[in-house]
Amino acid sequence: MGLYSFGMKGYSRKDTIAAIATAPGEGGIAVIRISGVKSVEIVQKIYSGQLSQYKSHTVHLGKIYETTKELIDEVVVIYMKGPRSFTGEDVVEIHCHGSNLIARKILQRLVEEGARLAEPGEFSFRAFQNGKMDLLQAEAVQSAISAKNELALKAAEMQLQGQLSGKIRYLQKQITDVTAIIEAWVDYPEEGLEFATEDEIKDELEKVASALKSLANSFHDGKLISSGLSLCLLGSPNVGKSSLMNALIGKERAIVTDVPGTTRDLLSEEIRLGELHFTLTDTAGIRQTEEIVEIEGIKRSHAAAKEADLILLVLDVTRGLTTQDEELLRKINGSKTIIVWNKIDQDQTPPFIDAPNIVHTSAKELMGIEELKKTIHEVIWHGKAPDKTGIVITKERHFHSIKQALSLIEKALLDLRLSTSPEFIAYDLRMSLHALSQIIGTNVTEDILSSIFKNFCVGK
Ligand SMILES: Nc1nc2c(ncn2[C@@H]2O[C@H](COP(=O)(O)OP(=O)(O)OP(=O)(O)O)[C@@H](O)[C@H]2O)c(=O)[nH]1
Ligand SMILES: [Mg+2]
């Protein structure tokens, strides 16, 4: 692999890079990480022990000093000689006391002695460049760090362990084999058919296409799992949206009164339902009004509903369907909505609505809340929870490449049926291989690489 410039400035991989690897703020310890050919030499200049004599992967206690020889901190140092390190280069980790000030001082000293501050994701980028992991795995490191729920973590860990990479490589191998045979048809039209019959080729490609299809289909779940979901309470004033918000999160977060128009602004809370992480947003009740603050609030309600993955449209059984409700029902996207008939403690029968997902609750008496949670799950997963052991695609980038590869394979299959000249079929198959190699990172442009790695955190 060639020399990629990194970030905007075309940094060289010859530099020795350093960063604070732990999160900012106070903690038990903070870790400063340094990677590159000069790691040992640079750390040695500020450190009391004899680093060059340490065995690789051993832990040592020592001291870090200012230029003036004044003590900065007592630290633990770990030396990991390349290529047996995260980046594949010589890496030194300095574990100091968990204060931002100390960590920054040590980092400052490293820079004074010749290290360069690492760009976000540059350690992972080097690990990728040095063949310690492929692009999928490098991305998985970041996904694991930012995972908001067990399912997201599980998907990231599987990707990190190379399950998705393995699957992609396996499909690449299948396509390559078929391509080789088709190219033999081109080169030796007489003998070519001895390698495999057209039916066998079709069979193979159909298997590949179906595997790609199921990977592409896993993106629906994968996206939900990894990005978390937004739920939005919407409805006319006074129907009990804020009361439902409180019932769902289990605390008195939103103000509830019997005055219509109580909620004026969006109010969001993080909630977990089962294994999923949601952001639940309470909104201002929708109605015609001249009141300036309320008008702005209602504008925000509409915006939140548009953004949401799922809308809980709240209706009041004591009022039935108002014209306002009917208008809302017409406006929103039915497939991403659950109708919630609230205030069922009032013993009124709600009118019929032709909608797929309807739940009855009493936010006040906490009735139907579990049923509502269950329905949220069903609607989100289209009635079927994801298979935890399956490989899922969690990134748009992967989804895009898989779709691309799939459509090329389908094109090749069609061409086979139409007995198109084998050159064209081979070409499509080569292009599909190219699309797949983009996922693993064997065939990606510098732009794509920097756009991926720049979203990582510094020190990773
Ligand atoms: N009987 C009964 N009353 C309820 C129920 N849920 C809410 N209420 C009452 O309905 C009134 C309005 O409740 P809120 O939760 O403030 O309604 P809202 O939809 O947030 O209203 P706005 O913020 O004005 O849009 C309050 O007096 C609540 O106590 C319910 O399930 N049963
Ligand atoms: Mg409210």
**pLDDT value of position 460:** 80
Whether pLDDT at 10 is above 80: no
**pLDDT value of position 1:** 35
Whether pLDDT at 364 is above 60: yes
- Mean pLDDT calculated for residue range 362-372: 96
Q: Which atom of ligand 1 is nearest to the CA of 314?
A: 19
User: Which of the four pLDDT bands, split at 50, 70 and 90, describes residue 2?
Assistant: very low
CA 231 / ligand 2 centre spacing (Å): 15
For CA atoms 117, 123, 125, 131, give the dihedral sign. positive
For residues 62 and 381, the model is more confident at 62
- Mean pLDDT calculated for residue range 326-347: 92
Nearest CA to ligand 1 atom 27: 258
3-state DSSP of 126-174: HHHHCCCCCHHHHHHHHHHHHCCCHHHHHHHHHHHCCHHHHHHHHHHHH
CB-based contacts of 292, cutoff 8 Å, min separation 6: none
CA 328 / ligand 1 centre spacing (Å): 18
Helix axes 122-129, 135-146, angle to 10 degrees: 150
CA 429 / ligand 2 centre spacing (Å): 57
| The token pair that represents 153 in the structure block | 């973590």
List the Cα angle 17/21/27 in 5-degree steps: 145
- Residues 288, 336: Cα–Cα separation, whole Å: 25
**pLDDT value of position 398:** 94
pLDDT in tens, 264-309: 999 999 888 877 778 999 999 999 999 999 999 999 999 999 989 8
**pLDDT value of position 9:** 47
Instruction: Assess contact for 130 and 448: CB atoms under 8 A.
Output: no
- Residues 7, 122: Cα–Cα separation, whole Å: 9
Domains of the chain: 17-132 (3.30.1360.120), 145-224+395-449 (1.20.120.430), 230-380 (3.40.50.300)
* Pocket of ligand 1 contains residue 265 by CB under 6 Å: no
Which of 243, 300, 315 gets mutated to test ligand 1 (max ligand atoms within 8 A of its CB)? 243
Counting residues of the chain whose pLDDT is more than 90, the rounded percentage is 68
Whether pLDDT at 4 is above 60: no
pLDDT in tens, 168-215: 999 999 999 999 999 888 887 776 566 778 889 999 999 999 999 999
* Pocket of ligand 1 contains residue 261 by CB under 6 Å: yes
* Pocket of ligand 1 contains residue 347 by CB under 6 Å: no
Residues near ion ligand 2 (CB < 5 Å) are 241-242, 262-263
User: Which of the four pLDDT bands, split at 50, 70 and 90, describes residue 444?
Assistant: confident
Average pLDDT in the chain: 90
